[in-house]
Amino acid sequence: MSAEFFNVLPPDDARALLFRHLTAVLPAETIPVPEAIGRVTAVSIHAPHSLPTFRRSTMDGYAVRAADTYGASASLPAFLQVIGELPMGQTATLSLTTGQAALVHTGGMIPETADAVVQVEQTQVISNQLSVSGNPLSVSGDRFSFPFETEVFRAVAVGQNVLQIGEDVRQGAEILPAGHWLRPQDLGGLLALGITEVSVVRRPHIGILATGDEVVPPAQTAVPGQIRDINSYTIGGQVQQAGGVPIYGGIIPDDFTALQTAAAHLLAQTDMLIMSAGSSVSIRDMTVEVIEGLGEPGVLLHGVATRPGKPTIVGVVNGKPVLGLPGNPVSAMIQFDMFGVPAIYRLQGVVNAPRRGQVWAILTQNIASESGREDYVPARLSDGPDGLLATPVFGKSNLIYTLVNADGLIKIPLNKGGLLTGEWVEVRLF
């Protein structure tokens, strides 16, 4: 079947079609939580106990019985007897009776017999009916001998300035679903509950092949007619940023058998295969045939309604994505971002894929487009008097420096014929 028979699909439909064929999640492995940044949970995780595990003060002050402060005001303070200090890190064993209080630090445990905390700023220590200066909670400063008296200038309600047991998370609650992409705070949430190891999905290994008789390794001197392989490494960089492991398969000449053999070999060892093919129609046709020969279902679509990147080939073989990207470096990067990166998340079952950062900026030049096609134009950002400015970096998609000189991509939606100078446009950040 010739490639010409495949439909050119809008990007969202193309991605949905690919995703329908990617249902299996890669196997799990167990790793220490502090090393799990950017990894993905393999199973749902529940709280082994509530958090906090004890009632904690949110203020420096006094643990009190709230009823003892009712009616207190600056003009008519309540008087409390401070019978001791609640040391940090120890179980609060002091017992308060009516009219009694205990010094407590922020984060400290309050005793069974207390039900609120009065902020130290709302109190004043009294000795022989005179105010005493100094902070009774200071480590280095004045210390007071217990018991002493303090005035309270404001009433507190039951529970005020106190974290309740389970207020952060309750025992048994699902704290993270399976497929959660782990961020710094998620590590904190696990460790707070004593969970120091986590079952995560193995990192996807992404096989990358460059093809083309004209392509030589970057370390090699290129004679006129030859170019150095850069797509392997720009895509490898994108793979790393998305949390995958690039496996470089080298450069294959424009020969069906050589490409077929190399592709089958690399696909068997990896979880996804990327072929950065030449941009010539003949090479694209060859890539389609190679993918068809690798296994079922083979090529899903040949062509995406975008610019750059229309001749992208999207396939699946034995549950593994296989992408044939255009040889132009700009097209290859944009298309890998559109299909490869989401597929890396999908192979890990990610439910909270990191959102692509974007900024709004004022367009400094008209951009033409065609309705029915999604365009991506590299743009450079700078600060202007009325906000951020987006200046298109025009250039053919063979020119890698159009991307080196850009900060992001302006997306022109399917239904727009272009964008005008002065419009606010969305710039997707690299």
Angle of the 256-269 helix axis to the 281-294 helix axis, nearest 10: 50
Beta carbons of 22 and 321 less than 8 angstroms apart: yes
Subset of residues 334 to 353 that bind a copy of itself, contact rule: CB under 8 A: 352
Q: Smaller CB distance to a copy of itself: residue 77 or 278?
A: 278
Q: Do 156 and 116 contact (CB within 8 A), yes or no?
A: yes
> CA triplet 423, 429, 430: central angle to 5 degrees?
140
CB closer to a copy of itself, 316 vs 390: 390
Of 189, 316, 335, 200, whose CA–CA distance to 276 is shortest?
335
Q: Is 59 or 317 the residue whose CB approaches a copy of itself more closely?
A: 59
Please report whether residue 106 would count as binding a copy of itself according to CB under 8 A.
yes
Collapsing DSSP states into helix, strand and coil, what is residue 348?
coil
> Contact between 429 and a copy of itself (CB under 8 A)?
yes
| Shortest spacing between CB 255 and a copy of itself, in angstroms | 9
Quote the least distance from Cβ 76 to a copy of itself, whole Å. Answer: 27
Query: Which parts of 278-406 are beta strand (E)?
Result: 297-302, 306-307, 313-317, 320-325, 358-363, 367-368, 374-384, 387-392
Question: Shortest CA distance to 17 belongs to which of 303, 309, 301, 317?
Answer: 301
Contact pick of 198, 333, 343, 409 for a copy of itself (by CB under 8 A):
333
Q: Is 184 in the site for a copy of itself (CB under 8 A)?
A: yes
Query: What is the C-alpha separation between 209 and 265, in angstroms, rounded?
Result: 11
Q: If you count DSSP H runs as helices and E runs as strands, how many of each does the chain have, helices first? A: 8, 29
End-to-end distance of the chain based on CA atoms, in angstroms?
Answer: 37
The reply on whether position 385 binds a copy of itself by CB under 8 A is no
Query: Between 148 and 233, whose beta carbon lies closer to a copy of itself?
Result: 233
Residue 23 or 396: which CB sits closer to a copy of itself? 396
Would you say 38 or 319 has its CB closer to a copy of itself?
A: 38
Shortest Å distance, C-beta 97 to a copy of itself: 21
Residue 301, SS3? strand
- Binders of a copy of itself among residues 206 to 265 (CB under 8 A) are 212-215, 218-231, 233-238, 240-241, 248, 254, 256
- Establish if 289 lies at the interface with a copy of itself (CB under 8 A): yes
Residues 129-168 that bind a copy of itself (CB under 8 A): 135, 137-141, 163, 167-168
Instruction: Pull the structure tokens for residue 248.
Output: 């470089």
Among 280, 318, 366, 371, binds a copy of itself (CB under 8 A): 280
Site for a copy of itself in 30-89 (CB under 8 A): 33-34, 37-38, 51-54, 56, 58, 60, 87-89
